[in-house]
Structure 1
Amino acid sequence: MGWSILLIPFLLFGFFILISSFFTVKQQTAAIIERFGRFLGVRNSGLRFKIPMVDRIAGRINLKIQQLDVLVETKTKDDVFVRLKISVQFQVLKEKVYDAFYKLENPHDQITSYVFDVVRAEVPKMKLDDVFERKDDIAIAVKQELNEAMVNYGYDIIKTLVTDIDPDVQVKAAMNRINAAEREKVAAEYEAEAERIKIVAKARAEAESKRLQGQGIADQRREIARGLEESVDVLNNVGINSQEASALIVVTQHYDTLQSIGEETNTNLILLPNSPQAGSNMLNDMIASFVASNQIGEEMKKTNAAKGITNKRRKKPTPPPPPTDSFDDDDSDGMDDVII
């Protein structure tokens, strides 16, 4: 009975030793085994064995792709302070787990330091607009610098991304005002162009309307003239001359106009002159003007005829000069001179 009581602690100790001899490693994880404080080996995923009380798990390293976000504040070439968010995606190389575990105390701090160094070396060379346009160049520069530095420590830089560019609040407001002003300028140009097109179209429409209106008035006057011509011919056939016929037509149109005005009840139109003797006065004035115009026409004809006769007399050709003899009539020398 006493032996059985003493055996129980040994059995429990043996069970504990057995359990502590085995351990598991998760997928995409590596376990670092040390024996008496010295590196023994790396254990990958699965069920693994170690000597209890001798070997121990010094640590575990994540082999998955990890991401580290670094917020960097720096100054651009045009003296604008800007904050950049750099996302670094990295992974521990399986063949360099030892270096990743033992060479770096805190890999995140190391990566952050390199990101700060590269960003603050590249961004001050660029203006603010160039930072937005060439953010890929910044990301490439950070990746190259990190790869050269971190590969010796067992880390592989997969990708670096500039995920955010945040200028100062006042600068951002100024940029928004500039953008709004540019858009308002473009909008004003489009509105002015639209207004110009409307004015041109309206002017063309008015010109076409005036042209058609003038054509209509011309056609109307042409038809009126034809009607007057026919009326004069009819009156000439009954013994009334052209002057009297024209005067009679004008007087008739005058009274027709008075009649059409009188038929309108709601009109403010007044025809002047509007006296009872207006028709006879108009007829007498027209006859007198016709007679005066005929007299003036006859005088102009006579004047033009007289001027024509005078011009003909002035243009009469002059006779040619008499011919000269080829012989010298002077016989003082007793000989006849002959021109050779």
Structure 2
Amino acid sequence: MGNLFCCVQVDQSTVAIREQFGKFDEVLEPGCHCLPWFLGKQVAGYLSLRVQQLDVRCETKTKDNVFVTVVASIQYRALAERANDAFYKLSNTRGQIQAYVFDVIRASVPKLLLDDTFEQKNDIAKTVENELEKAMSHYGYEIVQTLIVDIEPDEHVKRAMNEINAAARMRVAATEKAEAEKILQIKRAEV
């Protein structure tokens, strides 16, 4: 009905892209706007300015040949002052971000050993964020934050790591038990 009266409403945290006869004309801020359709003006689409989150799961191999699944959480948003770039230059934002994340993770994790991968997850996140920021700024997007939320080794590797850890703890327990027995025998001999 708004189009009948040449009016359109743009919601908060959203911008509208106005075209005139199919050509970009203006970015409309939140509020009420007149769009005289008989002059060829129309809304081409809307663009949210809210922060959005994309979780990316990427399988890669470490330097010591262990397959891991790295889960990166990317928070991004379209910039109001570059809304026309965000609307027209990129049709699949999530796919583009995912491709860059895959590229950076698969380039950086294979240089690290498994243990180093866990220790340097903040460095990996920073590298991903810097590369994304460079790439996505051309399309009118800002990368708010990048987190590596999970590094998950292959199930067999996890099991083997747990067995190694359990064996080490059993060895410590056996040593402690032997020390306790030794002290008890010395005390008995003294009496």
TM above 0.5, one fold?
A: yes
Distance 1:98 1:202 in 2: 87
**Paired position in structure 1 for 2:36:** 51
Distance 2:35 2:158 in 1: 60
User: What amino acid maps onto 1:79 in structure 2?
Assistant: N
Measure how far apart 1:130 and its partner are: 0.9
Q: TM-score, normalised by structure 2?
A: 0.94
**Paired position in structure 2 for 1:129:** 115
Cα distance change on mapping 1:189 and 1:142 into 2, 3 Å: same
Pairing of 1:301-320 with structure 2 (within 5 A): none
User: What amino acid maps onto 1:32 in structure 2?
Assistant: I
Distance 1:20 1:180 in 2: 74
Partner-residue secondary structure (3-state), 2:122: helix
Pick the aligned partner of 1:178 from 158, 164, 168.
164
**Paired position in structure 2 for 1:140:** 126
Does 1:200 pair with 2:189?
Answer: no
Query: Where do 5+ consecutive residues of structure 1 fail to align?
Result: 1-15, 207-340
* Number of residue equivalences: 190
**Paired position in structure 2 for 1:314:** none
Query: Where do 5+ consecutive residues of structure 2 fail to align?
Result: none
Please tell me whether the aligned partners of residues 27 and 45 of structure 1 are also in contact (alpha carbons under 8 angstroms). yes
Question: Following TM superposition, where does structure 1 have runs of at least 4 consecutive aligned residues deviating by more than 4 angstroms?
Answer: none
Pick the aligned partner of 2:11 from 16, 26, 30.
26
Pick the aligned partner of 1:108 from 65, 83, 94.
94
Measure how far apart 1:203 and its partner are: 2.7
User: What amino acid maps onto 2:164 in structure 1?
Assistant: I
**Paired position in structure 2 for 1:62:** 48
Distance 2:3 2:16 in 1: 19
Please tell me whether the aligned partners of residues 2 and 8 of structure 2 are also in contact (alpha carbons under 8 angstroms). no
**Paired position in structure 2 for 1:36:** 21
Measure how far apart 1:198 and its partner are: 2.1
Measure how far apart 1:23 and its partner are: 1.3
User: What amino acid maps onto 1:72 in structure 2?
Assistant: C
Please give the root-mean-square deviation of Cα atoms over the aligned residues, in Å: 1.4
Distance 1:43 1:200 in 2: 88
**Paired position in structure 2 for 1:168:** 154
Identify, as 1 or 2, the structure richer in strand: 2
User: What amino acid maps onto 1:164 in structure 2?
Assistant: D
Please tell me whether the aligned partners of residues 64 and 114 of structure 2 are also in contact (alpha carbons under 8 angstroms). yes
User: What amino acid maps onto 1:58 in structure 2?
Assistant: A
Please tell me whether the aligned partners of residues 17 and 52 of structure 1 are also in contact (alpha carbons under 8 angstroms). no
Pick the aligned partner of 1:150 from 131, 136, 140.
136
- CA radius of gyration, larger in: 1
Cα distance change on mapping 1:17 and 1:150 into 2, 3 Å: closer
Measure how far apart 1:148 and its partner are: 0.9
Cα distance change on mapping 1:122 and 1:17 into 2, 3 Å: closer
Distance 1:172 1:18 in 2: 60
**Paired position in structure 2 for 1:217:** none
Distance 2:121 2:86 in 1: 30
Partner-residue secondary structure (3-state), 2:102: helix
**Paired position in structure 2 for 1:96:** 82
Distance 1:127 1:68 in 2: 27
Please tell me whether the aligned partners of residues 20 and 52 of structure 1 are also in contact (alpha carbons under 8 angstroms). no
Identify, as 1 or 2, the structure richer in helix: 1
